[in-house]
Structure 1
Amino acid sequence: MDRTSNYQLAVMMILFEIGSTPIFALGSSAKQDAWLAMLAAAIVGFILLNMFLFIQNKAPDEDLIGLLRLCFGKWAGTGIGILFALYFAYESMRNVRDFGEIANLTLLKVTPKSVTMSVIVLLAIYAISMGIRTLFHITEALLPIVMISYMLLTFLIFLAKLVQPGNLLPVLEHGIAPVLKAAFPDIISFPFGQTVIFFMLWHLIPDKQKMKRFSLISYTIVALFLVSMNMLNIMVLGVTINSLSILPFLQAVQLIEVGNILERLDVMVTLLLFLGLFVKMMTFCCGSVYAFAHLFPRIPRAVWLILVSTVIYATSFTEPNYTVHAWIGLVVVVKKVFPIFQIVIPVIMFIILLFRKLPTGQNALPSGPQPGGSQ
């Protein structure tokens, strides 16, 4: 069995949660209070994460499929498990399409989307085929690059005197209602509710006692970082431009000009965006593959990897354009579909496990295939 450490878990959670989130204008409908919407969603997400960890602690050696079967029985648990596997694949598909569209919008304007999207899928196939440990090593290598890049860009924004704190005022001009409306369910679903994918990883941590602490600390670091980046976008661009911009942080970085030497740093932002999308796409794809492998163990995991990856790539072309893709993501699935998997089903599991006393030493059902090396 391929195990990993709490440190690697923390690194994975930080990079996964950061993803591409700082680049976008989340909660912009709350105007200058968008950062408060992010903070409110982060607080609820923290409660949600505690609930996830409670569920995992009831059967620490089980992945999501085993937990679903424990809560709902073999057949109902299997059915819900299939839906979760499809949900993970859909989340992965959205990241593939985002990658292709944004690459076409920024750096690779001539390269066909089909090429850039095939590259990210092939890279994910290779990484997942090497096993879970390889995925964790990839995030370990990428995290310093990501964090140093964000720190450098933020420093240069301040150095270029682009920050206007007055853009954050007045606070709560229209009361708390716009903040709550912007936060729920949109920002809960993206990015905080996406921690549900870690049900596929937590059981691999050998030191279960420290797992909860590392997970909560990692989440807190990310939440504070995202709130800070949200405030930065507003302070630099102002409310109107921030809410209208597709990629506000990219637009903010394009304004950097220090001594006629440091400018045109938007390439760094684009690369950060690509890295974030790749990590999320790879993690969700991995979760889907291992979920299907647990549900149907007679089919080799390598076959599931090819099948799931092919479906992800093929379905990424089903939406006719990026406008439709964004509308479905921001208006339909984030509000009406994702909360079912991120909130509703976990809450039902929490209630069931809260009142069900498991026999001593029982860890749900016999475990399915563990995410080890390539098969």
Structure 2
Amino acid sequence: MTEPRERISDNQIAFMMVLFEIGSTPLFFLGSKAKQDAWLAMLIAAGFGLLLVYLYIAIQRKEPDRHLIGILRTYFGRLLGSVLGAAYILYFGYESMRNVRDFGELMSQTLLTETPLAVTMLIVVLIAAYGILKGAEVVFRLSEFLLPILMISYGILILFLFITDIVHFRLLLPMMENGPGPVLKAAFPDIVSFPFGQTIVFLMFWHLCGENGIPVKATVRAYVSVALFLIFMNALNIAVLGPTLAGISALPFLQSVQLISVANVFERLDVFVTLLIYIGLFMKMIVFYLCAVIGLSQWAAKARNRFVLPVGIVIFAASFLEPNYTYHISFGFNVSLKLFTIFQIVIPAALWIVMLLSKGKPAVRIQ
């Protein structure tokens, strides 16, 4: 079917790349198994993630007018391509569901402590559904408004951490005390999958770019910038709390912010962290939600708006499947991240090989 004609600018792609990759990542201590070398694990994972970005760009360049679901059906045929497309729709929906649950749980812990979890999650899903009904252009315009707020908030918090004099980078030493093994184990596949492998979502949007095609430079610059920021934030959590305390803390960055005290005036800056939770998780959730809707629309050859509310209802209902937040986090890091590499690495690599073997002539051309 023919999708509504939408256009996304180069800046919007770059801003969304930064906003999407940041998400809730700085709030957590990724690579904790590597202890003080967790930032090195993130550095290695970011390098591998950059290779994935180039792989995704190469795939899109072969089919500049199609998104991922259409490309799969084009090169793998109607049957296998449809099966893989359906799997990606479920993947996008599941990722959105995880962010809905994260949003509800973290808001309950930090700001809306008396508000029922279901109410918080229902509101965020309804807001996202409204945005998606307005189209991808509106969703991507949000990034231009929200990214400056996000970066200013992080900047203020980081500045106050240094002013309070609780940042001690000596806690990052010794480097690779137990060799490179723990660093590599922390990087692969967990940090590669979250957050860097999640850039697979842009294969659903690059075809909406202008006449100049994929904004490769803007995309790569945005990725490198946000990767360096995330590496720094991981190191900052260690430098403030130490590797042991950061590793056992549910929200190490929040705990770090709670230590800020400047002239007995600037204290209790948790509201900034709450703002970061809202912006990061909401934007990540709405992008995955939009991908699921776009994918289902292509897969079923029906108008996109038909699926906005049904997909939202499924995402909201599925967010209650996990009995508690501890199980939610444990399942996500111990199971989901391993499985997600199939969607982020294995299938895209296989797709690229098929595209190369086809020499630009796909086996089955499906409009």
Q: 1:63–1:203: 8 Å Cα contact kept in structure 2?
A: yes
Q: Which amino acid aligns with 2:330?
A: W
Q: Which amino acid aligns with 1:329?
A: G
Structure 2 counterpart of 1:93:
97
Q: Which amino acid aligns with 1:321?
A: N
Is 2:354 the counterpart of 1:352?
A: yes
Structure 2 counterpart of 1:183:
187
Is 2:82 the counterpart of 1:78?
A: yes
Distance 1:175 1:76 in 2: 43
Aligned-pair CA distance for 1:365:
3.8
Structure 1 counterpart of 2:142:
138
Q: Which amino acid aligns with 2:342?
A: I
Where do 5+ consecutive residues of structure 1 fail to align?
368-375
Partner SS for 1:2: coil
1:1-375 to structure 2, matched below 5 A, reads 1-209=5-213, 211-298=215-302, 300-335=303-338, 337-359=339-361, 365=365, 367=367
- What is the CA deviation profile of residues 235-281 of structure 1, one whole-angstrom value per residue up to 9, with x for unaligned ones? 01111111011111111111100001101001111210121000000
- What is the CA deviation profile of residues 144-174 of structure 1, one whole-angstrom value per residue up to 9, with x for unaligned ones? 0001111111111111111111100000101
Aligned-pair CA distance for 1:105:
1.2
TM-score, normalised by the number of residues in structure 1: 0.94
TM-score, normalised by the number of residues in structure 2: 0.97
Distance 1:90 1:235 in 2: 34
Partner SS for 1:98: helix
- What is the CA deviation profile of residues 280-334 of structure 1, one whole-angstrom value per residue up to 9, with x for unaligned ones? 0000000000000011123x32221111100000010011111111111011111
Q: 1:157–1:253: 8 Å Cα contact kept in structure 2?
A: yes
Q: 1:15–1:279: 8 Å Cα contact kept in structure 2?
A: yes
Aligned-pair CA distance for 1:354:
2.1
Alignment RMSD, CA only? 1.4
Distance 1:149 1:349 in 2: 40
Distance 2:353 2:178 in 1: 36
Distance 2:365 2:278 in 1: 39
Q: 1:66–1:364: 8 Å Cα contact kept in structure 2?
A: no
- Counting aligned pairs with the same residue, the percent is 51
Aligned-pair CA distance for 1:75:
1.6
Q: 2:76–2:363: 8 Å Cα contact kept in structure 1?
A: no
Q: Which amino acid aligns with 1:74?
A: R
Q: Which amino acid aligns with 1:191?
A: P
Q: Classify 1:161/1:105 alpha carbon distance in 2 versus 1 (closer, same or farther; 3 Å).
A: same
Q: 2:193–2:344: 8 Å Cα contact kept in structure 1?
A: yes
Q: Which one is further off, 254-263 or 202-211?
A: 202-211
Distance 1:330 1:364 in 2: 37
Q: 2:97–2:315: 8 Å Cα contact kept in structure 1?
A: yes
Q: Give the length in aligned residue pairs.
A: 363
Q: Classify 1:364/1:250 alpha carbon distance in 2 versus 1 (closer, same or farther; 3 Å).
A: farther
Q: Which amino acid aligns with 2:240?
A: V
Distance 1:139 1:364 in 2: 36
Q: 1:62–1:364: 8 Å Cα contact kept in structure 2?
A: no
Aligned-pair CA distance for 1:209:
4.9
